[in-house]
Each structure stands twice: as C-alpha cells, then as structure tokens.
Structure 1
C-alpha cells in the first residue's frame, strides 16, 4: 500500500522533522489519554477505602494524583521530543508509585496491582514518540516495578510465574502497539511530506513552484533582522518561444532543465530558487544589490554556455534589493521591471532596479578657459572612455533655415576611436539605468550653449523612465539655466522605449511645460507609439519614424505622408520628418506640408555646427521643383479626366432627352477607366440600376458585404456635396478608396434637375494604374 513511500529518508533532517511533527500530532492524544488515566487512578485510589486492611493515608494517594495532573498540564508546553519523553517516563513512575501506595495493607495486593501494571506499559506504548523513548521508559518502568511486584505477598512458589506472566504478556503487546503505531505515523508523515513536496515543486525542473516560492520568500522577509540585506533576481530565457516553435517542446523542456541545473549548481543552499512559470525563474539571495547583480552576471555567463540547436542559450536578468517594510510582491515587481528593461535593451544582460530618487549629475569636465581661448566641446568621463556631443540640424522647410539641433551622444576613446553604440548604451548592472541619460543632458546643454548661438532649439533625447522620474523636471531646468540655456530653447524628445505609463508621461509633460520646456515624441509610427499616446501627452512636435516617408498605399503606390501630416496638424501638433536622405524624399516632405525635416541630406551629426548655405539652396530647389511640377501634374490630370467629362456631358444630355440609361451612357462605359455610371437622388441613394463600365471586369478586391452600391447612401461623399454646390458643372474628385471595388478611384459627377427632382449623375473611374497622375488638391 505504501510502496511509493520508499524514497530515501536518511537525510539528516528527516528524523528530526518526523519527530517534531509526531510531537504536534501526539500532544493532544497524550493529553486526553493521560488525563483519563488520572481520573481512573483517582477512582482506583478511592475504591481502596472500601477494602479491608490498614491503608496509607488518602492524602498520599491524592498527592500522587496531583503529581500526575501536573504532568498532564506540562504536556502542551513540551517544546522538544526529549522533554515530552521525560514527562512520559515521570508519569509512568509516579503512576507506579501511586499503585504501590494504594495496594499497601491489602490482604491480596497482587489481585489489585497486577492488572494495573500489565495495562500501563501496553496503553503507554503508542504514546512514546520514538523507539528510544519507548525503550528507556519501558526499561525504567520494569526496573522499578519488578522489586515492587516481587515484594507483594503471594502464594509460595508463585513469584516466578507472576513475573514471567507480567513480562510475557505486557512486553510483546507493548512492543507491537508501539512499533505498529510508530510505523503508521512514519508512513503518514512520508505521505504528507511527499504531497507537500509535489504541491510545492515544479515537476519539470525540480525547483520550487511559484506558490512555494512566495510563501518561503514572505517567511524569509518577515524574519529579516535589522541591517540584513536580501535581493530578488528574476530571469527569463531569451527567445524561448522560438526554441519550442522551431525544434519542439522536448528541446524547450531540456533547456528549462539545463537552466534549473545551473541555478542549483551556482546558488548556495541558503538561496530560495524557483521556476515562476513558463521560461521565468526567480531566486531570493541574502545579499545587497551589488552582490546579487554579480551573482546574476555569473548565472548569465553560465547559462550562455548551454547549447541550443541553433547556438547558445541566453537569459535576461532583473535585480532588486529588499526595502524594509515592503511586501514580497512589491520586491518582485521591481525586479520584474528591471527584467523588462533588460529585455527591451537587447536581452542577454543584467539590469538592476532604478534608484528611488534622481541623483545629481557630477560632471568631470573642466569648464575653465581663458577669455581669448577658442570654444571647444566638453566631454565627460564614462567607464574607460569619454562621452561627447554631436549635433544634427533640423530645418524649417517653409523658412528654409536651421531652427534646431538634435543632440546625439557619442563615445570615444583617448585615441579618437569611436565606441560602438552597443557598448555605449549597454546597461550597467550596478548603477541606475537613468544615470547615462542624465549625464548626457548636462553635457549636451553645456556644449549647445557653446556651439549654438542663434537661439535655435536644442533637442534632448530622454528615456520615458527618466522623463517621469520624481524631481527631474526641476533638476533639468536648473541644469539648463546653470549652463546659460533657458528651458524655452530645449525640446525634450521622448524616446520610443519601455517605461512609464501614459498617465505618468502626461503628468510629467505638464511639469516640464511649467518650466518652459517643449515636448516632442520620437519615432511616431513604431513600437509603442500610437495616436492615443499622442493625444494624452499632447506634444508640441511629433517626429515621424523615417520609414513613414517611404511608406506607400497599397495598390496605388502613393505616399501616405501627406494625409498623416494633415491628421497631426488637425490634432494641433507640428511635424518633424526624420531620415531625409534623398532629394526625392525632401521634395515629398515639402509637398506633404511637413514643418521640419532632418536627415543626412540636410546635415550629418557632427561635433561642430556647419554653415547651412548649401542646405538652404537644396530646400529652395525642392520648392521650385514642386511649383513647376504642380502645374504639369494638373495638366496631366486634366488630360486624363477630360474625355470622361465630355462623355458624361453627352450622356447626361441624352438621358435628359429620354434615352434609356444604358444607351445614354454607353460611350462613357466603354472608356478604359470607367467602372460604372450611376444616378443618385437628393439623399444620395442610387436611382435604378448602374451601368457597368469596361473597368468593372478587372478583378479587384471586392468587399462582398458592401459591394452593392444600391444599399448605401452617398450624400456624405465629397463628389456628391461638391456637385450639389455647383449644379450643372462637372466635378472631379480626388482619389479615394472605393467600398464597392476595393480600388483607388475618382468620381466625375454633375448635379442637375430632372423630371424626378434634383439628382447627381456620375461615373466612377479606376485610378489604381501607376501611370495615372494624382492631384495635389481636390479638382472641380
């Protein structure tokens, strides 16, 4: 029945755990049993008063009962198994003494004493916690009971028989009871431990599971003494999903087991190690932040030596130190936040928790110079290299001049060699991750004050975590003013990065604006950027991701930049386009009504500020190209649409004279781009059937539930509204995406008065061919 409980129980702590657990179980049973025995003894002693013969005074017998009662009271207070065993030994000896006092003076004392001294060891046997207690207690009981029993009057020659009867009946029975009950308790304890271990253990890795980890961590923190330090380490296996997806769950399970083995090998016995779930592990290490981060770095290197089918495993780590009074969940949340930063910073690295306050920046540069010394850029010591400032210009396209410079951080060694960005921006595990951000701001504003003298803006990149840091708006304003740069000249460019909720960012933006800073959001259209984020933060400028200038609509291959710029302008935000690298992209930015542009075509990042004359000419040339191209584009558009207007006029005349719709618009329907001809009433609903055109046969992305135009109302469309405003004049719309065909189309329409009232007659033209010109504004 208990065959599954045959696991190894020879560990040093097993016997102690079992006996202490037995003590908890036996204490109430022993208390009840021994209290009942006290009552039985009192009845036994009281019955002696009814028998003949001189008796020991009752007070002595009651004193024994009182002693037994005191021993019963002591049982719940027994804190160790040996104290509990000693109480049992004392109890049996006092009980034996009480029996001796009770039977003294009886004519046949053996008749009274023998049943009692046989029953006592038998009933006491299950109550002994350990075989040692049983052996010692039973031996002492028989050592004291044998002289007593032999000293009682008994028939001649029967002494040996009485003793042997006593021993042969009581000892085997007591041994069977004790070891049987002991074995049952042991099996029960093994089962209990096994179930507890299964409930607390992750079956795949053999580590604790999340529930057990939280319980033990909470217990550890509750017992932490003053001045003691404990830190939590979270780790997550990098790209684990790809491991399962590409090579199967068996390979993924093996990776988890290998990582668990590394954790067991590298950590100490005092560390609490757990698999939290999935590919996430956690451990509690009795040390401060620096030592815990060093342990995490050791673990990271060890995991990096584990092979996976396509290379080596890697893991990201987050470390946080326990703060007095906080809960285990608060500690783990901070470690988890550091883990997220490690993952978003490129994975396979250790990140420590952020500081609870913003440290003041401690510059290492020498700002002293003679009045006649030339201005030179400052630089800041960082690790084994120097931080420097490079500035890239931003141009107002309308003003055709430099209006700002984005400060970019660079690293260089003493020999002038550039430090790779992966090294420069690599998180330092033992410092606040925002320190580099803050140091760069102090460096940039001082260099900007030296190099940028025409009142232009200075764009400072800032991480969301730094942006929302408590007290940093005041500190940054102080830094800027100390450098001689008013906050009104500083644009804080909020980087696309993890950290800080939208509510926190919005609150912080208000604090920066109170100092005069302007706010920009970087890389809109990538990562976490979305329209809701913009509307909540309300930046003064939006910097569009460089890919958006190259993005085009599906099918028509037309840029989407003009519409996006129009949308942001309507939301009250100025627009900066980054990544302008070609003349064609500059022309598109000008044509799209972009406010500011930045890119290698307009100026590369440099430690010095270069004259902008050549760029001015380049921007002016873009305006000239657009001005010349606009007239040409309009002429091309008109030449394409002209035949359709003429055919529409002829069709309308024929239809008004009573010719059937199909015949009236036959010539128009046969033109290459015509999809359909239609008539709408004054509410925008289609009258009768539509006349299919030649382009209707082209296979398009028909949206079947909305493909029938007769189900719809079209008076909200510009081609309907504009025609009604100018009755009798053919109107040509800008290109739009047709619901019926799923293709870019334009509409040629005219409003007129017929026998059935006012109506709008028109034709929908397929405008998806790349050779077709797109107008820069709506045409009438």
Structure 2
C-alpha cells in the first residue's frame, strides 16, 4: 500500500512542499560539500604557485575563494528554493572563473582543468534541488567553462579525450546522479507525507485525529491577533452506545462516517474539524460565539436528518469562544462543560459556555453598543442573554428613593423573557454559583449606567457564594472597577442552603472590611430565624412579604408593629417587601418600617421610573395615619371608659370597707369582664378573684398556669403603670393572658390602704373581632 502511494500524481502544491522539505534536508549537505570545494580550490591555487611561468594575480584568485566562501555562508540563511538555486548557479560561475585564472601561463591547461570539468558537475548533481536548477546550472557551467578554458586551438587527440570525459562520462553521470537522487528524495517525501497523514487522520471518518487537531489548533491560536475571534464546538452523538449494542458496530461506524461527512460539508475550508475519540467531534471556527452558535444549530439540524435503524441520529453541542492567552485545551474544556449541560438538559440541543468569575473584569470592560448606538445592557449566558431589572426601595420617613434591588432576567435573541423556572433551574454537573456570580457582574455593569449617584444597589447573593473563599476581595475589585464604592452596595443574603451561620458570620466581617453593607432577605420564611440574624448582625433585615399581611391568632390584628420594634431593639433597620396596596403601605408607615418595596411603589424595570407619584402616595399614607390615630384613640377610650368609671366606684367602696365581692359586683357584670382582682405591693393576688361573664375554663391546655393566685404580676405593665399614677384608672395595651390564652386588656388602679399599697383591677376579654385597639406606638 505504501509503495503504490508514492506513485500518486505530483500536483503543484505537493511539489512545492517537497521542494521546501528538500531544502531543509539539502542545506547541511550543500554547506559541507561546497565548503570542502572552497578548500579544494585553495589547494589548487597553492599548487599553481609552485609552477613556474606567468600567472594571474594571486589577489584575484583569492578573491574568487572569498566569494565562494561568502556564498557558502549564505546557504543557512536561504528560505526559498529559488534563492538556493541562484546561489548554486552563482557558485558554479565563480568557481569556473577561478579555474580560468588559475591556469593562466601553464603549458598543459587541460591537465589542470579536465578533472574539475568532470568531477564538479557530478558532485554538484545531487545538490541541485530541482531538475530546472540542475539543467540551468549545468548548462551555464559548461558554457562558461568552454568560453573561458578552451579558447586556444586543440589537437584532434585532445578534443577526443575532452569530449570523451565530458560528454561520455561527466554529463551522463551527473544526469544519473541528479535524477536518481531526486527520485529517491521524492519517494522518501511521499512516504513521509503519507505516514504523517496516516498519523494525523482518523481512519474511519477521514477527519483529523485528536493529536493533529490539537497541534494545528495550537499553531492557529498562537498567531491570532487581539481582534480575531475564534470559537470551538464540541459535539457528541446522543445514545451512540445503544446504536452499537443493538445493531452492531458496522452500523455505528457508518453513522460516524455520515456525521463526519456532514461536518466537512457544512464548515468552510479555513476551519478545522476532528474526531476527538469515540462519538465525540470538535471544530475550530474563525468566528465569535454568536456565529458559532448558528453553525452548531445548523449542524444539529443536519445530523438530525441522518437515519438510524430505530429513527434518526441526534447530537448535543457545546460552544465556547476563545479568550486572549487561552490554550486550546482550556477552550475545549469550556466547550465540553457546555456540552455536558446540553446532555443533562435533554440532549439534541446547543448550549453556550458560561462566563467564569475570573472573566468578570473583562465582561465589565465591554461597553459595546447596539446597532442604534445605545449601550449594551445584556450579556450572553448559555443560549440566552442576562440583563438587569431594577426595583426601587423607598425610605418612608424621607419619602424618597434610596436604593434599587437588581433582579436578574433572561432574554432570548428577540427580547422575549426566559421563564424564571428555566433561568434558575438547577444545572447538573455545573457550578451552581456561576449564574449568581455572573449576575453580580451584569448588575454592576448596568448599575453604572442606570442608577442615580446617591442610591444604594441591593445585590442578591447565595449563601454559598457569600462564603466562597476570596470572593469578598474579588467583588470589591469588580465594584471599584465600575466606578462604584462598596459602601453603596448592599449584599442581600438569599434564603437558601449553602452555608452555616458561623461561616456567614465570618464572611460578613470580611465584606464589612471593604465597606459593604449586609442585608438578610426573606426573614420570616424558610430557614431564617432570630439566631441567624443575631449572629450575622445584618445592617438591614428584609421581611418576607407575607409578614405584612400576618395577623395575631383570633384577633386579626397585624403583628408587623411588634416585629419591627423587636428588630429595631436588635439594632437592625427594617425593609418590608411586597407592598401592593395602599392599606399595606399605611400599615408599614404605622409600624415604623424604615424602607418599603413592592409593586405599589414601583415594578422591576430596565429603566428607572420618575419617583414623584410615589412620593405623593407615601405622604398620603402619613396623612391617613395622622388622622386615623386620633380617631382610633377616641374609639379605644370610648370602649374602655365605662370600665374605668366602674373600677373607680369599686375602689371607693373598698376604701369604705365594703367586702370585695360586693365592691366588684357592678363591674363583674360587664360583658367583657373576665375577673376582678386585688394585688398586694409585691404583685401577688389577695384573696379570690371575682369572676365575670367572660370567665371560661375552655383553655384546658393552660390548666397548669390557669390559677392567677400562684404568680407575681408586679412585672406586668398594667401593674407598673398603675403604681406610677396612684389614684388614676389606667388601661393597658392588649396582651396575651397567661391564664386564659386570650388577648386581654387590664384596667388597673393603685390604692393606699391603711396598712399597705394595693392595685385593684379588672381583666377584659379583648378577643372579639371589631374591637378598637390603641394606635401603634
């Protein structure tokens, strides 16, 4: 097989490669041979000086030797076959001229020149690279030699000897030497080329094998300029093992061959395609990521048209674009990662590379414009684009925008939004934090263009990303690179798995060293709890939207005011999310919430909306609260006043010496009265309580604490407030009764009896719907 291959047609391209290869081989041999000739010529000059008679000047002959030496020194620097042939011709002409000067004045010139006339063409014959060089150089050598050496008349015998040596021996021998050696070099080159081709070719498909592809790709990437775009496509035939197992390897081999034919037909001659191994193929294209994705999609459709015994072939594709300084193996690894995601997401699809964290600054530096000259606000991620939507947050007290939460959105090429279930779906065999880190880059790049200079940027961050080693330093570097300061960025830790509280507490300290503020998102949902807050110590707490609608059991009273008060006591500012109605906004203001966010105040959008209408809406909420607080207070006082009057009458009766049951008889008949009681100076109950209509024993589960006589109550606000205002009937805020488990109100009055101070009071059932509650503190 190899021997027949050497007889293949010798086309022009192959001939050029052969001559260039011959030049590499011949250069050392020619240098040594021609240098030896220079030495021989100098010996010839020395021998001529030993013979008497007139001679050409020695300087001329040594000049010829010097020219010969310079031509020899030029050989290693020759890069083209044409130059190499020109040096050979020039060398032969100088050599003949030197011979002619050396025989001036000798009696038998042919004895000096005839050996050189025969030996020089024969020795030079194998050194000529091409037949053209050989014929041209030999003809010029003989023509010059006869013109210079044979100018004087010769006898018949001398002519016979000269022609016999030159024509019968020298010329035929040099021809045989040249063409024989030329044919040997040619066959050796063809054999070498065929072996190299076999070593670089996959025998089944005819494509490059992995080694040849990598080697060629390395050469190509070494020569790319910064503005040259190159991409790799990695593809894998889906379910190929089942094809071999069910229908045999012959069917599988045929499928591989058909896929190879599709790849060669669909790509240009300047691109590279290879069978990497098994059912995997790789392509290197001179195009960017978008163009490579189109090529991959075209190849996917073409392969899907190939039939297999049980249907049609399909293939999955991963695409990655080359980055400056990146090796071919790193590029293929990124394309392979995209291929794995294509496999795990259902096969027969194309997936693009993911942006890596270390390319964040490079992404930020890309301030491109679209066809209309507008700044680019989205960046490629897999088969769609990532972009930022901003939702405003308002300070309720200042009644103005103070920050914006950056929310990630995915867009198709035509601008259609990608469903969140697709955008945030778990990706097997991939870095789950990759999208999170990429979102930070996108948001920061867009915030630079969109946000007011004095506004906070709220960045959502997964716990796993938050605690990642070195990410605090990296994020600070990215923030500063866009012209922001970390003090303007609030990191919003999402409600998610991925980090212990201890790890997040340590990480929070690192972010604070850079100036970042910390927020905890969705407090009141999932894993969030007070322990998490107290150990992380966030600057802000974002309450889950459901908390604004949460009410106490059986009362329908909002719990938001007390929760906000608790968080303020812990030293944390409060953001309430999910404000969607005017009533919820009023409740947020009344609950002393610091910041609010929700559809009522602004929906997420690419562009920042004017805030004036929202400012008016918040101001109206304050007006409603100011008007309602007085009305609410009046309603509450109206409801409680009859109990105060009755309690003061009971106090007068007790001071007059009337028995407890008789003194409280009128008060105990009030509908909401649970019980009337007397507490001593230490807050312990004196005697039996007088039960009223609202007394009940239904709270069986609270039976161990149902007897109020077993406890001290001087720590309760209703006791302390009464002691502070002796002689004045005071009412408490609603509280949960320990004895009955119901919301209650206590009306109390401090009295000074002869022996000691006491507090008398009545506990009222305040669990009925519609009862007025005091305005929030």
Trace 1:444-459 onto structure 2 (pairs within 5 A): 444-459=443-458
- Relative to structure 1, the CA distance from residue 586 to residue 487 in structure 2 (aligned partners, 3 Å threshold; closer, same or farther) is same
Looking at structure 2, the residues matched to 362 and 483 of structure 1 have their Cα atoms a distance apart, in angstroms, of 9
Q: Could you say which residue in structure 2 is the equivalent of 1:404?
A: 403
Pick closer, same or farther for the CA change 1:438–1:422 going to 2, 3 Å.
same
Identify the residue that residue 563 of structure 1 maps to in structure 2. Answer: 562
Equivalent pair of 2:368/2:376 in contact (CA under 8 Å): no
Per-residue CA deviation, residues 289-308 of structure 1 (Å, 9 max, x unaligned), is xx9xxxxxxxxxxxxxxxxx
Once the two structures are TM-superposed, the CA of residue 528 in structure 1 deviates from its matched residue by 1.2
Kindly state the Cα deviation for residue 427 of structure 1 after the two structures are TM-superposed.
2.8
Q: Is the 8 A contact 2:388 2:443 kept in 1?
A: yes
Query: In 2, are the aligned partners of 1:630 and 1:776 still within 8 Å (CA)?
Result: yes
1:376 CA drift (Å): 3.8
Across the two proteins, how many residue pairs are aligned to each other? 429
Q: Could you tell me how far 1:359 is from its partner in structure 2?
A: 3.9
TM-score normalised by structure 2 residue count: 0.53
Write the distance in 1 (CA, Å) between the matches of 2:373 and 2:566: 46
Aligned alpha-carbon RMSD (Å): 2.6
- Are 1:743 and 1:768, in contact at CA under 8 Å, matched by a contact in 2? yes
**Deviation, structure 1 residue 776:** 2.2
Q: Distance in 2 between matches of 1:381 and 1:676?
A: 71
| 1:632-665 Cα deviation digits (max 9, x unpaired) | 0000000000000000000110111111111111
How far the C-alpha of 1:672 sits from its partner, in A, is 1.2
The equivalent residue for 2:150 is none
The answer (yes or no) to whether the contact 1:358–1:470 under 8 Å persists in 2 is no
Matched residue, 1:486: 485
Q: In 2, distance between residues paired with 1:552 and 1:444? A: 36
Q: Give the 3 Å change call, closer, same or farther, for CA 377–706 of structure 1 in structure 2.
A: farther
1:666 partner SS: coil
Q: Specify the SS of the correspondent of 1:642.
A: helix
Name 1:617's counterpart in structure 2: 616
Q: Assess if the C-alpha contact under 8 Å between 1:701 and 1:741 holds in 2.
A: no
In 1, Cα distance between equivalents of 2:379 and 2:635: 58
Hey, what's the Cα distance between the residues in 2 that align with 1:363 and 1:584? 47
- 3-state SS of paired residue (2:393): strand
Determine whether 1:734 maps to 2:733: yes
Q: Is 1:377–1:607's contact at 8 Å kept on the other side of the alignment?
A: no
Secondary structure of 2:360's counterpart equals coil
The 5-angstrom pairing of residues 103-142 of structure 1 reads none
| Maintained 8 Å contact 1:677/1:693 | yes
Correspondence for 1:774? 773
| Equivalent in the alignment of 2:28 | none
Tell me the equivalent position of 1:475: 474
Counterpart CA distance in 2 for 1:756 and 1:655 is 14
The alpha carbon displacement at 1:771 in A equals 1.4
| Worse overlay, 699-708 or 456-465 | 699-708
Q: Is the 8 A contact 2:361 2:478 kept in 1?
A: no
2:459 is matched with which residue? 460
Residue segments in structure 2 that go unaligned for 5+ positions in a row: 1-241, 247-279, 281-340, 346-353
Distance 1:744 1:635 in 2: 20
Tell me what 1:239 maps to: none
Pairs within 5 Å for 1:200-239: none
Q: Which residue of 1 aligns with 2:714?
A: 715
SS at match of 2:408: strand
CA distance in 1, matches of 2:525, 2:367: 43
Deviation track 1:323-355 (CA, whole Å, cap 9, x = no partner) reads xxxxxxxxxxxxxxxxxxx9xxx9xxxxxxxx9
Match of 1:651 in 2: 650
Q: 1:702 to 1:594 in 2, by over 3 A?
A: same
| Residues 210-269 of structure 1 deviation map (CA, whole Å, 9 limit, x = unaligned) | xxxxxxxxxxxxxxxxxxxxxxxxxxxxxxxxxxxxxxxxxxxxxxxxxxxx9xx99xxx
| Equivalent position of 1:503 in the other structure | 502
Indicate how the Cα distance of structure 1 residues 377 and 635 shifts in structure 2: closer, same or farther if over 3 A, else same: farther
Q: Distance in 2 between matches of 1:676 and 1:415?
A: 72
For residues 777 and 590 of structure 1, what CA distance do their matches in structure 2 show? 10
Cα 1:366–1:476, aligned 2, differ >3 Å: closer, same or farther?
closer
Q: CA deviation at 1:431?
A: 2.9
Residues 234-633 of structure 1 aligned to structure 2 (within 5 Å): 359-361=358-360, 367-368=366-367, 376=375, 378-633=377-632
Q: Counterpart of 2:666?
A: 667
3-state secondary structure, aligned to 1:650: helix
* Normalised TM-score (structure 1): 0.53
Distance 1:560 1:374, change over 3 A: farther
Deviation at 1:578, TM superposition (A): 0.5
1:81-120 to 2 correspondence within 5 Å?
none
> 1: CA distance between counterparts of 2:580 and 2:521?
18
Indicate conservation of the 8 Å contact 1:365/1:378, yes or no. no
Distance in 2 between residues matched to 1:643 and 1:409, nearest whole Å: 58
Cα distance in structure 2, aligned partners of 1:388 and 1:381 = 9
1:369 deviates by 6.2
Give the C-alpha shift of residue 572 in structure 1. 0.5
| Equivalent residues of 2:678, 2:685 under 8 A apart | yes
Mapped partners of 2:523, 2:495: distance in 1? 8
How far did 1:364 drift?
A: 5.1
Residue-by-residue CA offset, 1:411-439 (whole Å, 9 max, x unaligned): 01111211011111123334322111111
Q: Which runs of 5+ in 1 are unaligned?
A: 1-261, 267-290, 292-341, 347-354
Following superposition, the deviation at residue 676 of structure 1 comes to 0.6
Matched position secondary structure for 1:762: strand
- What SS does structure 1 have at the residue aligned with 2:599? coil
Summarize deviations over 1:577-606 as a string: whole Å, max 9, x none: 001111111111111100000000100000
CA contact (8 A) 2:361 2:481 kept: no
Structure with the greater alpha carbon radius of gyration: 2
1:679-738 C-alpha deviation (Å, 9 max, x unpaired): 000000001111111211485566110000000100000000111111111111000000
Alignment partner, residue 754 of structure 1: 753
CA distance in structure 2 between the aligned counterparts of 1:583 and 1:708, rounded to whole angstroms:
44
The question of whether the paired residues in 2 share the 8 Å contact of 1:702 and 1:742 is answered with: no
TM-superposed CA distance for 1:520, in Å, is: 0.4
Distance 1:719 1:374, change over 3 A: farther
